[in-house]
Amino acid sequence: QQPVQSPQAVILREGEDAVINCSSSKALYSVHWYRQKHGEAPVFLMILLKGGEQKGHDKISASFNEKKQQSSLYLTASQLSYSGTYFCGTEVDSGYSTLTFGKGTMLLVSP
Amino acid sequence: NAGVTQTPKFRVLKTGQSMTLLCAQDMNHEYMYWYRQDPGMGLRLIHYSVGEGTTAKGEVPDGYNVSRLKKQNFLLGLESAAPSQTSVYFCASSRPRQNRNQPQHFGDGTRLSIL
């Protein structure tokens, strides 16, 4: 069952902030975040493991709420290069590390 | 550093034809995956492999077969192509989950059209 991402699309001006959410109905072991630009391969951003940790990467950070089985990706002071489609991939607590991806959130940053 | 390489990059097939997509990785990863990506659907797992000689079904396996005869290669086959299999196919690889914080590394994709 695919995780649910919200919103489906976001339009920002350069310098504004955005939050993308990813919710699952299953107990999760980890949440992965990827960004994909048009016509290119998905690129890894970060992994959140169960335990409710928060991570940061430049001006992009994420959190994982284990109780709610929800992860949020925070983009602060957005740059033009942040434009693309963001996917969360969720991993349940089973023997093999397969991911189930959400349908994606399209982010457009304009000058 | 090549990473994950997919061939071919583009292909047009007629309904009923067969073909094989090749994925090769040079990172010595144990796990390999095949996904398809359709507009508005995200990435859906077709088949995956946790090691040489092993394969398993993913979310949407019907109409596809796979083989992992060598650790570095993962082949995806379409025996009798159908228009519903028109999609962009991505291969990915990763280390086992026992090695924590292991991302999946994606190839550049194969754009397949079936007429």
Q: What is the pLDDT of residues A42-69, one digit of tens each?
A: 999 999 987 766 667 778 999 998 888 9
What residues of chain A score a pLDDT lower than 70? 52-55, 95-97
| Residue B1: per-residue pLDDT | 63
- In 3D space, the residue among A77, A91, A75, A82 whose CA is nearest the CA of residue A20 turns out to be A75
**Cα–Cα distance between B74 and A26 in angstroms, integer?**
29
Q: Which of residues 45-84 of A touch B (CB under 8 A)?
A: 47, 49
- In 3D space, the residue among A58, A68, A60, A33 whose CA is nearest the CA of residue A48 turns out to be A33
| Residue B98: per-residue pLDDT | 64
| Residue A92: per-residue pLDDT | 86
Q: Is A6 on the interface with B (CB under 8 A)?
A: no
The answer to whether A71 and A48 are in contact (CB under 8 A) is yes
Q: How far is B65 from chain A (nearest CA, A)?
A: 18
Q: Which amino acid is at B25?
A: Q
**Residue A7 Cα distances to A85, A106, A108, B43, angstroms:** 11, 8, 13, 17
| Residue A51: per-residue pLDDT | 72
**Cα–Cα distance between A29 and B82 in angstroms, integer?**
36
Judging contacts by C-beta atoms under 8 Å, the chain B residues touching residue A100 are: 45, 59
Interface of B with A (CB under 8 A): 31, 33, 35, 40-45, 48, 50, 56, 58-59, 90, 94, 96-97, 100-109
Q: Which residue of A has its CA nearest to B40?
A: A103
* Tokens encoding B66: 């796979």
Q: Do A43 and B56 touch (CB under 8 A)?
A: no
Note down pLDDT in tens along chain B; length 115 residues: 679 999 999 999 999 999 999 999 999 999 999 999 998 889 999 999 999 999 999 999 999 999 999 999 999 999 999 999 999 999 999 987 665 668 899 999 999 999 9
Q: Is A99 on the interface with B (CB under 8 A)?
A: yes
Option in A32, A43, A96 nearest B50 (CB): A96
Interface probe with A: pick from B48, B49, B54, B104, most Cβ of A within 10 Å:
B104
**Cα–Cα distance between A9 and B89 in angstroms, integer?**
23
